């Protein structure tokens, strides 16, 4: 067996130069750090990090994110570890149910510590006890009642705090922690139950496990609302992939920007990050297809900066409403712009919006910076010494024309971006089933 293993390792190593990305994935799966490191160096040398091989379906997103970190972030320290302590089977440690009496129990926070008429006790893995009603669980969490109850046993240092009925109530021992179970039970009862995005993954996983359909629907709705007001880089996309929220996958993919990849890399470097479960459970191919989608969208948006022209009927001004874009463009005195029919001020505008589209190719990114863009353009138009704006254009272009142009251009960016289709594989279930 050892000889066969050595032959297999030699065969994998021999493919490092020819198929470095595939070799990296195979080495990661088998925890072959030396081969994974050499393959990563070859991927970087051949610039293949944004490439696809079938093996990306079998390794977790965190492995691919680490590879992107190695290849794309210039300040990545060497040597760099890819496999050690990061294998999926090692990372997903099973939660062991504590034995009754192993350590002191404590009551949950009110009102779930002693609800009137409570007829069952739920104990979490961190030894917190909730006294609740079967009828509520039957409606809101029927999966809990499928767990075989055990007779209540006191822990050595526990106290009933004046509650004499504990011995008579059946006990459900759960693997989840108090924070998760408390939120889920409060969503079943008429209690305040604030939902923190940091705990979303644990909440939805437990709700699905215990057949809490109403809770699952509410959590999904909360995630959609959070995404609507999102202006940061939290990985909604990976959460949506992990739980197969197809519509949220698409919306979060469209909201993705290049800075998000940097945030993911920073998150992956933190072993105790709240997002690591999603990085473990979602395949690397989901990240690859997201980057592919983003690059294609960006290419379409950037192409507008060399071919888009304002609508003629939108270019009139208060002095002459019949003025067309062609008339203004042809009046430009800087001949360098004439072959592309771009007057000097429009060429200057395109130079301002290109960096914005490079980061996030959406019309909203233009609208968010509209004031900065207009101030820059107006500054050049008012500056008589500027060599970027000719005298004729400085006299003829108005602020209102510029505002309409920015709005029209942002709308056009959205139009072309919305035509880019998300790869179909992203919209399917993205969980690595074999490692759940």
Q: Could you write out the three-class secondary structure of the chain?
A: CHHHHHHHHHHHHHCCCCCHHHHHHHHHHCCCHHHHHHHHHHHHHHCCCCCCCHHHHCCEHHHHHHHHHHHHCCCCCCCCCCCCCCCHHHHCCCCCCCCCCCCCCEECCCCCCCCCCCCEEEECCCCEEEEECHHHHHHHCHHHHHCCCEECCCCCCCCCCCCCCHHHCEEEECCCCHHHHHHHHHHHCCCCCCCCHHHHHHHHHHHHHCCCHHHHHHHHHHHHHHHHCCCCCCCHHHHHHHCCCHHHHHHHHHHCCHHHHHHHHHHHCCCCCCCHHHHHHCEHHHHHHHHHHHHHHHHHHHHHHHCCCCCHHHCCCCCCCCCCHHHHHHCCCCHHHCCCCCCHHHHHHHHHHHHHHHHCCCHHHHHHCHHHHHHHHHHHHHCCCCCCCCHHHHHHCCHHHHHHHHHHHHHHHHHHHHCCCCCHHHHCCCCCHHHC
| Confidence class for position 381, pLDDT limits 50, 70, 90 | confident
pLDDT, residue 215, reads 92
102-106, 180-184, 283-287, 373-377: the lowest-pLDDT one: 102-106
Domain ranges of the chain: 2-90, 106-188, 204-295, 303-418
What is the C-alpha separation between 66 and 60, in angstroms, rounded? 10
- Inform me whether the pLDDT recorded for 31 exceeds 80: yes
Higher per-residue confidence, 74 vs 399: 399
| Confidence class for position 314, pLDDT limits 50, 70, 90 | low
Mean pLDDT estimate for the chain: 79
Higher per-residue confidence, 208 vs 199: 208
Contact 398, 243 (CB under 8 A): no
Query: What is the average pLDDT across 40-50?
Result: 90
pLDDT, residue 335, reads 58
Query: What is the average pLDDT across 361-384?
Result: 85
| pLDDT tens, residue by residue, 320-372 | 555 566 666 666 776 554 445 677 878 888 888 999 999 889 998 899 888 88
- Inform me whether the pLDDT recorded for 131 exceeds 50: yes
Contact 184, 203 (CB under 8 A): yes
pLDDT, residue 206, reads 94
134-143, 220-229, 294-303: the lowest-pLDDT one: 220-229
pLDDT, residue 272, reads 56
Query: What is the average pLDDT across 187-211?
Result: 84
The packing angle between helices 2-14 and 33-46, to 10°, is 10
| Confidence class for position 159, pLDDT limits 50, 70, 90 | very low
Higher per-residue confidence, 402 vs 339: 402
| Confidence class for position 306, pLDDT limits 50, 70, 90 | confident
What is the C-alpha separation between 387 and 408, in angstroms, rounded? 26
pLDDT, residue 143, reads 93
The percent of residues above 90 in pLDDT, for the chain, comes to 29
Query: What is the average pLDDT across 251-271?
Result: 75
pLDDT, residue 429, reads 42
pLDDT, residue 390, reads 81
């Amino acid at each position: 067996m050892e000889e066969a293993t050595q032959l297999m390792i030699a065969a994998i190593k021999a493919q490092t130069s020819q198929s470095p990305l595939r070799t990296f994935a195979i080495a990661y799966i088998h925890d072959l750090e030396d081969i994974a490191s050499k393959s990563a160096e070859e991927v970087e040398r051949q610039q293949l990090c944004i490439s696809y091989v079938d093996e990306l379906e079998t390794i977790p997103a965190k492995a691919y994110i680490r590879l992107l970190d190695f290849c794309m972030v210039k300040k990545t320290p060497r040597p760099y570890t890819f496999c050690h302590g990061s294998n999926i089977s090692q990372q997903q440690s099973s939660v062991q149910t504590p034995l009754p009496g192993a350590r002191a129990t404590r009551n949950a926070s009110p009102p779930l510590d002693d609800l009137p008429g409570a007829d069952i006790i739920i104990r979490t893995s961190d030894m917190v006890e909730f006294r609740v009603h079967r009828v509520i669980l039957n409606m809101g969490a029927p999966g809990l009642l499928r767990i075989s109850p055990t007779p209540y046993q006191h822990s050595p240092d526990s106290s009933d705090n004046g509650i004499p009925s504990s011995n008579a109530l059946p006990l459900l021992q759960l693997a989840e922690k108090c924070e998760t179970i408390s939120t889920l039970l409060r969503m079943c009862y008429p209690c305040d139950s604030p939902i923190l995005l940091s705990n979303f993954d644990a909440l939805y996983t437990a709700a699905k496990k215990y057949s809490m359909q109403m809770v699952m629907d509410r959590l999904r709705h909360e995630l959609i609302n959070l995404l609507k007001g999102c202006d940061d880089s939290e990985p909604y996309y990976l959460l949506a992939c992990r739980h197969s929220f197809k519509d949220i996958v698409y919306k979060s993919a469209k909201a993705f920007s290049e800075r998000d990849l940097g945030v993911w890399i920073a998150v992956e470097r933190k072993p105790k990050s709240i997002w690591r479960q999603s990085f473990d459970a979602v395949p690397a191919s989901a990240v690859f297809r997201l980057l592919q989608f983003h690059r294609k969208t960006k290419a379409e948006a950037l192409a507008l900066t060399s071919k888009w022209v304002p609508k003629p009927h939108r270019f009139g001004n208060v002095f002459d409403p019949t003025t067309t874009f062609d008339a203004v463009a042809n009046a430009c005195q800087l001949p360098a712009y004439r072959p592309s029919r771009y007057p000097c001020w429009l060429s200057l505008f395109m130079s301002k919006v290109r960096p914005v589209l490079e980061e996030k190719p959406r019309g909203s990114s233009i609208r968010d910076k509209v004031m900065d863009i207009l101030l820059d353009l107006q500054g050049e138009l008012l500056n008589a010494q500027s060599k970027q704006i000719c005298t004729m254009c400085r006299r003829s272009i108005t602020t209102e024309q510029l505002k309409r142009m920015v709005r029209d251009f942002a709308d056009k960016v959205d139009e072309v971006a919305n035509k880019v289709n998300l790869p179909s594989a992203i919209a399917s279930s993205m969980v690595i089933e074999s490692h759940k």
